[in-house]
Amino acid sequence: MSRIFILAFVLFATLFAVNAAPLALEKREVQFQPCPGLPPDVVGLDVTVTPDPIVAGTEETFVIKGTMKKDIVAGDFLGITFIDVVAKQPIGDPLIVDICSLSGVTCPIKAGTAFSTTQKLTAPKELPTSYAIGIGIGHGQPPNIEPIACAFALVGDDNGPADFEVWDFL
């Protein structure tokens, strides 16, 4: 009789331990891809962001890498922006920096040379359930901006294709 109680106790303890164990959480990584609708000489950038997933109101670190098909010269810029996918509007202020003024960068950077930079940007305090992050390198001044490189990521509930031009927000 005591063996039955021991067996029942072990089975209940095992069942309790299995049910109490946390379920494995699926990490939703931000996946960057080349911007659609741009000429073939525009390079897709390799981008990683930390922390990942993005936390509203916290400082995010973007590591941006790529090998350009065009020279990067004085006046060329790097832009990072958050975009509301539904409203098709920017969220907060974008980060725009002159590439040649970055520490450790010597311009011109010739085409075919690997380029890498780390930039920090505070994510907007309020992020919608679906948003995009656009990152681009361009040449010129509005409205005559020539894209050199571009990447974007869709984040949130709706990860379908963006039906807007990411480059328009950079």
Q: What total of structural domains would you count in the chain?
A: 1
Tell me the three state secondary structure of residue 155.
strand
Q: Does any domain span residue 108?
A: yes
Give the model's pLDDT for residue 141: 82
Q: Does any domain span residue 10?
A: no
Instruction: Print the domain residue range for 43.
Output: 27-169
- Sign of the Cα pseudo-torsion (168, 45, 63, 58, in order): positive
pLDDT mean by block of 10 residues, the chain; 170 residues: 56 52 57 88 92 89 93 92 89 91 87 92 90 92 87 76 63
Give the model's pLDDT for residue 19: 54
Question: What pTM was computed for the model?
Answer: 0.77
Phi-psi region of 128 (alpha: psi -120 to 50; beta: other; left: phi over 0): beta
Q: Does any domain span residue 21?
A: no
Interacting residues of 139 by C-beta distance below 8 A, sequence separation 6+: 70, 72, 73, 75, 76, 145, 146, 148
Give the model's pLDDT for residue 51: 87
CATH at 133: 2.60.40.770
Q: Does any domain span residue 146?
A: yes
Give the model's pLDDT for residue 24: 47
Q: Does any domain span residue 151?
A: yes
Q: Does any domain span residue 45?
A: yes
